Every structure is written in C-alpha cells, then in structure tokens.
A and B are shown apart, each in its own frame.
Chain A
Amino acid sequence: MYKNIFKYDEMKRAEHMAVRNTVGWYFWTHQLLEITGPDVTAFLDYMFPNDIASLAVGRDRYTVMLNEDGEIIDDVVVMRVSEDTYWVSTLFATKLDDWWYFHQGDYDVEWSEITEDWAMYAVQGPRSRELVNVLAEKSVDGLKFFEIADNAIRGIPCKINRGGFTGEKLGYEIYVNPDDGEALETMLKAEAEKLGGREVTEFQVMAWTLPTEAGFYYMRDLAHTNPLEVGLDRNICWDKDFIGKEALLKVKETGPAREMVGFEVPETDHYIRAKQFGGPGEPVYVDGEEVGRVSKLVYSYVQEKNIGYILAKKDVLHPGDRLNVHGYDIVISGRSWLG
C-alpha cells in the first residue's frame, strides 16, 4: 500500500546516484532575463536584498526577491556578464518582468527575456570537472564557485558557469545556442558514460531529490515565507535599501514566527502529502494544535530514508522529536543529509 514512488524506482536511483558518485548531466534550461543600462546595478540592488553592487564581472550570486511584506516571491541567480549587463536566471520570468516593470520608476534600465537564445546543461558530480575538461577548449580548473566564463566545447561557443542545484562541490552549467544543444548532448552522453556517469532525465531527481538532500529549496517551499524563516537571511545586505527591507527589519527585531525544519519518515511506504505536489501539505500537530505543514517529502538515496521539510512554528519542533503525521511516525531532524 502506498508504495514509495522514489525508493523502488531504479531509474531515479541510478540518475540520482550518478550525480553523487560520478557525474550526471541534464538539460536544465531556466528562464533568463538580460538587464542592462546606466542604473542597472543600483536597480538590481534595490530589487534584491543580497548585495549585487559588489558582484564582480564574471561572478554570480544567489538571492531571493521580496515583496513589500518581506515575503519571498522568487529566488534567482544573478550573473554579472559585463560591467553594465547582468543575466538573471529564474523560473518565473513573467512575474519577475511585471515586478520590475512596476518598480522601475526612474531607474534607467532595459531588460529583455533571452530564454530562447540559450540552452543550459547542468553537469554535476565529483567527476564533473573531468567531464567538462575533456570537452572544453579551455580548462575549467581555475573556475571558482559561481563564476561564469566564455569557453567553447569542441568548436561550439559557450559560457560555462560553475554552480548547481545538487549540493555537489563540483558542478557546472554550460550555456549554448539551442541549435547546438543536440550536438552537445551527444558529446556529454558519450563522455559521461566513459566516466560511469549518465544523463539525468527525471524532473523529480533534478528538482527534488538531489537538492533536498543538500537542504536546498524549490520555489514552492519558499512561497509566503520570509528569508529569516527559511534560513536565507545570512547574505542579506542590511546596509542598503531594498524592497521588503522595512518589513524584514520588523521580523528581525521580533524574530521569525516560523522556521523550516527537516524531518525523516522511517516507514518506507507512507501517505503524507507535501506541498511539492501542490496544495497545503499535511498538517503537523503537537498536542492537538497545528504547528506546521509538510513542505516537502522525498527520498534520500544516499541515506536510504524518506526526508523532507516542515514549515513549523518557531521553536516548537526540535531535532530528535518524534511525532505522528497522518498516521506515520516521523522524526524531526536537521535539514541537510549529505554529511
């Protein structure tokens, strides 16, 4: 009954573990906005709470985007591709575009969506550098984390960014013209196989199981939370003005009302609903009072157990606490399972 949709799926397991043990590659195109203009740095610094002004050319930075209430409305990677030009990688370009439009004011900036111009391939795992170096004309050995540079893959012009959404220390993202995608895929497939790697094809692996093991979020986890609740406040630049700052300062003063905690479900085959499929998520009760909702519940192929997140009232759930959710025992834990 309720057979686990992850554990027994050998394809998901093989794709997941390829990234953990050797190398996995996959089509991972996000939406891209290119923004430029004399005021571009100041504008982005106002749009995002993390420090954009200090970003050097060729480097990128992860940041959330907030509304006036300090709630997270997107999380993006900002890449500074030249002095006055940035790329912003998002999965919600339409909303982001509207948001910028309504807040542009007197900022002298222009932006356009360039998603159609670039296909992006993730190459992730301990042997990802080896794989990329076999293909790239310039070695990526010196590429720092969150650094993007021009390169070429056997004659195909590309940009290679070191980064990823898997928690792997080594991971790269290759941006090419979509017309070159098929050729790149052929090369990646052949070279990855030589290293014992493979293509990751399952959405649930690339977006859920790999990131969750590393404690990362998908935007559904972050909706209607603020950075202090979900532990994304560490890099907020409080010295500058940004949308949502006033509200967030109040949260900072009083302390967040909620927090994202990890949890594990010992029983393999369960029925606990999580927000990752949509909807409100399973309620979590303590002494009859609802103290949170299950945000995510996947399977860790590394730890061989069900893992997930609960968005809970602050300081109610602690690691080691044992609860029952929808008839299944759970154990509250930390939020990273990669050790």
Chain B
Amino acid sequence: MSKTIDERIPQNSGEGAGFKTFNAVQTPWNKLFSYQEALHYASRFEAVLSAAATQALRIMVPDYETRAQMMCEEAYQRLYVTGQYYGDDDGFGIHPFMCGQFAGALIGDKGDDALLMCGRCQDFGTYRAEKELDVCDWDICGSELCRTTTMSLQGQANASAERRRKGPTMDYLMVEAKGCGDRHCRIIAESREKYPAPPHKLWESFGPAVTDEYKKFTEEEDCVAESMMFREECNYRFVNGTNNETDSSNQMINLSTAASLYILPAVAEAVKRGYVTRDTADHILKCVLEAAGKAMFGERYAIRACREWLGVPDSVGEDGRLLGGLMEVLLQSLVCGYEVEAFNKDEVILVIDRGGLAIGATQEICEAHLWMWNGMVKTLVNAMWSVWEEDSPAGKLRVKIAKKIDKFM
C-alpha cells in the first residue's frame, strides 16, 4: 500500500484573512466543529463506550449487589487515597475555616460542571449539601455507576476533611439518579451527627435522606442543558458559591470518562478478587465493545448521518477513511496527540499518543477504544475492513484501518 495521505486543508487555512480566531476541531474534509460541540461529542462517545464496558462488567460479576459493592469499595478507596495526596483545596474554593466532609461537595460541584453534568447546587453547609443535575451523559451506563460515583465523592470528601480541622461527618447519598430513570441526579450529603440514620453498606448509597423535606426540585421549564461554562447568563464561567471561577479552556484536557474513572478500574478489581481471569475479562470486554461498535452504524441512516456530519464528499466511497475521519474528530476532541501516517482509499494509519488516549491514566482504555473502533468499521464501512494495532512505537498506539481476511475473526 502506498501510505499516501489524501490532500487535506491545513488547520491554519485562512490565517490572516481577517476572520476571527475560532477554536475548533477539523475533519479531514475541512468540516469544523466548535470547541463546545467537540467536547459534547467526546463526552457522548465516551459515555457510550463506558456503557458498553459496564455491560461487560455485568457479565463478569452478574450479581448486582456484589458488583455494586465492589465498584463502590474500589472507587471509594482509590479516590480517598488520591484525595489524600492530590487535594487541591484552594482550586475548589475550600476555605481554611471549613471543617468536616461537606467541603467534598465543592469538589463534586466543580467536577460535574467540567463533565457537562449541568445543574445547580441547592445547598451547601457544614451539615448538609445538595446538588441537582439536569444532564448526565453517564446516565446510560447503569445504576451501579450512580452508586459508585457517589462513593467516590465520599472518598474525596473524607480525604479532604483529614487536611482540615475536625468537623462533622457527612453521608453522601444519591437520592435521585438519572441512571435510574429519575428526572434529576440529586446528591444529598447530610451529617449523621445532626441527622441520625442507620448505617448502610457502601453500595446502598441511594438513601433515603433524612433531610428530604429540604430538597429543591427544579421543574422541567427551569432545567438547563449546558454547563455554566457554556451559558451566557453565567458569563461563560463556572462559578461556585465560594467564588471559585473557571472557564472552559481546560475542560477537554481534563476530561474523565466513566470507563476510565470507574468501569475499567472495577474490571481490574474483579480480576484481583478472582471473579474473573484477566484473559476472560479482556475477552468479554472485546466481545461487548466490538458489538457496541457494530451497533453504532447498524442502520443505514446512521452511516448517512455520519458522512454528513463529517462532511465526507461523495467522491469518498465505502472505505476506512470514514472511520479514520471520525477517529480524528474524537482524538482532537480529547486533545490527544496523533499523526496521520496514511489516509487513502486503501488504508488509514493513525499513530496515537497512548498517554493522551489513556484518559485518567487508565491504560486499558486504549484497547477499549481499539475494540470499539474495530466493531464500528464493520458497519460504518463493511465487514472486509478491520481495525488493529500494528508495529506501535514506544508510547504510541499505531492503529491501522484496512481490509483484512481472518478465518477466526
């Protein structure tokens, strides 16, 4: 194969022509997506991948309680330890006089907005905090993830509290969850010293809350669809109640995903606990992620929509460039470095920075993407095409999209 790269418009095309600078990602066919759209796309795609990974985990650990408890324990412990070593209290607007575990609510509040999980803080005090979300891209993953994220917040809150003057403990509960079909996600954290309640297992993090009567439910007409950083009324800035202020400029770089932050670490934990071997876990992940990829373009209209979205010209037929272009949009949206080694009708080769794709430093996420892409190419193009890793240099994921015959595929 020629390893040629089809002619494409350079990213700095038009520089100096008088247009205002516009932050965007670019398809190989010069279709531009705004920063905001790209971030939404990345978030949504990664949520779909995460949902598929969750299905794989469900096969590995079929019992709901066992799985949820394991996920909660793993996430709690990891985020607790991380929070001990990498706490950025100033960065969350946690002031020195704030005591106890309620400061964790400020961590969650900021993280939600960065992950496009928009909503509003309804209360934060030393003994009670309430956060209500209108949107959560992760809501397709499953209710066990909702429980897990709650306990990861508990871990961060507990770690943060240890750096401060001793104060009340807080029990973080997700009393409503979009992953369970509720209109909102609603985290209520309440002090057990002030609001006593029986103890519960870690996975039983859905409440009920003792302070339920204080909750503020936002009606449909007042719900929002964007994070503060993308809303004019917020001056395009996230601002919390302690005046911690950020804009959208670093959100892509710091994007976390459910798979990288919770699901794949839970798979590793399932292996560690002997619920499944590593080989079997990878086999299940591969099967499920490939199937999810195939399902993405199972209907012809999805292919047509994708071509339209990417701006693929009619002269480009059914070949690997379709997936290559889609992958490029995702990689740019994740601010993941990559080089185009080949991009033509016969093959596409992208040399991807593994570190950039390993969102949240979860290495297994690279293979998860590879399996998903391999499934996607089967329906986006056709079954003659495959995606595989080949001759990767150190620190890189060299992905090849080409035709391949494999009698054991």
Of the residues A2, A27, A280, contact of B234 by C-beta under 8 Å: A280
Tell whether B304 is near chain A: CB-to-CB under 8 Å.
Answer: no
Tell whether B98 is near chain A: CB-to-CB under 8 Å.
Answer: yes
Total residues of chain B contacting the partner, CB 8 A: 37
Q: Which residues of A contact B96 (CB under 8 A)?
A: 29-31, 115
When chains A and B are docked, how far (Å) is the Cα of A201 from the Cα of B231?
35
Is A27's CB under 8 angstroms from B128's CB? no
Q: Which 8 A-B pairs have the closest CB atoms?
A: A278-B240, A204-B125, A277-B121, A280-B233, A29-B96, A220-B243, A219-B243, A203-B126
B365-399 contacts to A, CB under 8 A, are none
Closest partner residue, chain A, to B121 (CB atom): A277
When chains A and B are docked, how far (Å) is the Cα of A206 from the Cα of B125?
10
User: Residue-by-residue, is B174-216 near A (CB-CB < 8 Å gives 1, otherwise 0)?
Assistant: 0000000000000000000010000000000000000001101
When chains A and B are docked, how far (Å) is the Cα of A11 from the Cα of B216?
21
Is A220's CB under 8 angstroms from B194's CB? no
Q: With A27-B97, A31-B96 known to touch, is A201 a contact of B120 (CB < 8 Å)?
A: no
Of the residues A5, A201, A220, contact of B241 by C-beta under 8 Å: A220
Tell whether A91 is near chain B: CB-to-CB under 8 Å.
Answer: yes
User: Residue-by-residue, is B151-162 near A (CB-CB < 8 Å gives 1, otherwise 0)?
Assistant: 000000000000
Q: Which residues of A contact B63 (CB under 8 A)?
A: none
Is A94's CB under 8 angstroms from B90's CB? yes
Q: With A92-B243, A278-B109 known to touch, is A11 a contact of B120 (CB < 8 Å)?
A: no
Q: Which residues of B contact A202 (CB under 8 A)?
A: 125-127
Chain A nearest CB from B7 CB (Å) reads 45
Total residues of chain A contacting the partner, CB 8 A: 36
When chains A and B are docked, how far (Å) is the Cα of A104 from the Cα of B96?
26
Tell whether A276 is near chain B: CB-to-CB under 8 Å.
Answer: yes
Closest partner residue, chain B, to A118 (CB atom): B96
Chain A nearest CB from B208 CB (Å) reads 15
Is B241's CB under 8 angstroms from A29's CB? no
Is A206's CB under 8 angstroms from B97's CB? yes
Tell whether B165 is near chain A: CB-to-CB under 8 Å.
Answer: yes
Is B234's CB under 8 angstroms from A279's CB? yes
When chains A and B are docked, how far (Å) is the Cα of A110 from the Cα of B234?
37
Is B234's CB under 8 angstroms from A223's CB? no
When chains A and B are docked, how far (Å) is the Cα of A276 from the Cα of B243?
9
Is B97's CB under 8 angstroms from A201's CB? no
A204-230 contacts to B, CB under 8 A, are 204, 206, 218-220, 223-224
A184-211 contacts to B, CB under 8 A, are 201-204, 206
Chain A nearest CB from B93 CB (Å) reads 8
